[in-house]
Amino acid sequence: MILSEKTVKKIREKASKYPKRKGAILPSLTLAYKQLGYVDNEIYIEISEVINVPQLEIAEAASFYTMFPKKPRGKYLLQVCNNISCALLGADAMVDRLEEKLAIKRGETTDDGLFTLISVECLGSCCTAPMIQINDDFHENLTREKLDKLLESLKNGK
């Protein structure tokens, strides 16, 4: 089992609250994602056994939601907003800078497993554009210097 006992227990608890077993698909995926940072076919199979819903239905649901990453990701998920406000204020340059510093392309993960870089749509922080979300935190009004510093401190484990 890739899912931890704790996760399985939580999934069972959640599942028991739904009148139809299928209802538990998304909460289960979310719990799995919280543990692992991603979901994939092996996880669908495990969830399917826990909540007794066909693997197919779990795979279909997971594939529909782009916010469930399907591959393991770096410790830090760098999500650069590239929607209109951020784009006007230099989001592309931010991405270029990150690609250069980390030596990866958008959608890729560094070899040390520390960073995954993706660009995302509007994060609702247009007034402080350009911005980046790293895991659960916003970092706003970015400049090139600020970004470099941020990266350094993450590398140093802060």
Partner 1 sequence: MSEVVKEKITAVDTVTCTIDGQQITVPRGTSVFDAAGQIGIVIPAFCNHAKLKPVGACRMCYVEIEKMPKLQVSCATMATDGMVVSTNSQQVREGRKAVIEFTLINHPLDCPTCDKGGECDLQDLTFDHGYDDSRFGFDKMRFIEEEKRDTFDDLKIGPEIVLNRNRCILCYKCVRANKEAFGEYDIGAFERGDLTEINATPGGEVSNPFSGNLVEICPVGALTNSDWRYKIRVWLTKTVPSICNFSGSGTNITFYKEDHKNFVYRVTSRCNDAIDDGWLSDITRYGYQIVNSESRLKTPLIKKGGKQVKASWDEALAVIKKHMGQIKDQSGGVCIGGLISPSLDNASLYSFSKLFRTVFKSNNIDFRGDYRYLPSVTDSLFTIAASQPFSISDIEKSDVIITFGTDLIREHHNEYLKIRRAVNFYNSTVYSVNPYAVKTADIAKSEMVYSPGTDELVINGICLVAIEKKLVNSSAAAKLKSKISKLSPGVLAKLTGLSKEQFEELAEAISSAKKVTFIVGEIVARSLDRDKICAALSNLNKLFGVQDKGQLAVLSRYANSKGAQKLGLSATPYEIVKDELKKIWGEYPDCQPRNTDAMINLMKKEEIKGFITVGANPMRLYPDRSFASEGLEHVDFLVACDMFETETTELADVVLPLCSWAEYDGDYINLEGKVQTGKQAIKPKYESKAAFEIMELIARQLGAKLFENEQVKNEEIEKLLKLDSVLPWPDDFLKIEYEKKSSQDGYPVPLFICDDPHHSGHLTEKSPSLLNFSDSAYVELSKGLAAKIGVADGDPLRVESPVGKIVVPAKISPVLNSDVAIIPRNFSSTQTTSLLMRKKRVDSVKLTRVEE
Could you list the residues that contact partner 1 (CB under 8 A)?
Answer: 41, 44, 54-57, 59-60, 63-64, 66
Shortest Å, Cβ 120 to partner 1: 16
Shortest Å, Cβ 5 to ligand FES: 39
23: left (phi over 0), alpha (psi -120 to 50) or beta: alpha
Please, which residues bridge with residue 119 across strands?
80
- Residue whose entry in the numeric block shows the structure tokens 């929607």: 83
Distance CA 84, CA 92 (A): 11
**Segments of the chain assigned E as strands:** 76-81, 115-120, 132-134, 137-139
Comparison of 30 and 133: residue with beta carbon closer to ligand FES = 133
Told to check if 83 binds ligand FES by CB under 6 A, we report: yes
Told to check if 134 binds ligand FES by CB under 6 A, we report: no
Among 126, 146, 154, 155, binds ligand FES (CB under 6 A): 126
Among 36, 118, 122, 134, binds ligand FES (CB under 6 A): 122
Distance CA 41, CA 146 (A): 39
What is the number of other CB atoms lying within 10 angstroms of the CB of residue 87? 15
Shortest Å, Cβ 32 to partner 1: 15
List interacting residues with ligand FES (CB under 6 A). Answer: 81, 83-86, 122-126, 129, 131
